[in-house]
């Protein structure tokens, strides 16, 4: 996204999560990048649409792997942009899974996930088999202590637990 932001004639703010600085992965410079505001489906599943961004994306993918071993398949969407949001990709995924789990590091109260949930609820209400669920950071100032900070931020296991509870609702557990 940074290359796209540099090439854009529009003003762009790129926010990077410091804990992702040491992540490694392949970069294919020859492949053309998707539009800067297009969300990407990073994993296709049949049971729950998981919407995530920034550092929560790798945790959502990790949770999806653990859940797959139990027979629960997550579609994991990488928002990539918070303004504008690619609602079409999110809505299309919810149409397939009929469940939505929003994962964010931000506080639950007044966080971006609250807007995601409200908008998806407006567009997908009659498609949903269960209420939209959110996994978010605690509603406290971020602790300076590393151990306390980690305890205040969602972890992959929190995502796994939320997905299990969603599937157990109405006898949908596998």
pLDDT digits (tens, 9 = 90+) for 109-166: 999 999 999 999 999 999 999 999 999 999 999 899 999 999 999 999 999 999 999 9
pLDDT digits (tens, 9 = 90+) for 1-36: 677 778 788 888 877 777 777 777 777 777 777 788
- E strands, 7-47, are 40-43
- Measure the CA–CA gap between 49 and 41, rounded to whole angstroms: 10
pTM above threshold 0.75:
yes
Q: Which of 4, 81, 102 is nearest to 38 (CA)?
A: 81
DSSP 52-107: E-TTHHHHHHHHHHHHHTTT--EEEEE---SSS--HHHHHHHHHHHS-EEEEEEEE
Question: Average pLDDT for residues 80-93, to the nearest whole number?
Answer: 95
CATH architecture of 35-171: 3-Layer(aba) Sandwich (3.40)
Domain definitions of the chain by residue range: 35-171
pLDDT digits (tens, 9 = 90+) for 75-84: 999 999 998 9
Going by their DSSP bridges, the two strands 40-43 and 74-78 should be labelled as: antiparallel
């Amino acid at each position: 996204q940074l290359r796209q932001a540099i090439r854009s004639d529009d003003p762009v703010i790129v926010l990077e999560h410091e804990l992702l600085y040491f992540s490694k992965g392949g970069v294919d410079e020859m492949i053309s990048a998707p539009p800067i505001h297009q969300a990407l489906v990073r994993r296709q599943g049949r049971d729950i649409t998981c919407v995530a961004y920034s550092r929560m994306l790798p945790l959502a993918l990790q949770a999806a792997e653990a859940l797959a071993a139990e027979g629960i398949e997550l579609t994991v969407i990488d928002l990539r942009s918070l303004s504008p949001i690619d609602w079409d990709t999110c809505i299309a995924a919810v149409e397939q899974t009929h469940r939505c789990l929003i994962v964010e590091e931000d506080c639950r109260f007044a966080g971006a996930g609250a807007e995601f949930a409200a908008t998806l609820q407006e567009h997908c209400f009659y498609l949903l088999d269960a209420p939209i669920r959110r996994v978010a950071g605690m509603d406290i100032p971020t602790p300076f202590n590393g151990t306390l900070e980690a305890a205040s931020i969602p972890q992959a296991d929190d995502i796994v637990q939320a997905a299990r509870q969603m599937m157990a609702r109405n006898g949908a557990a596998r």
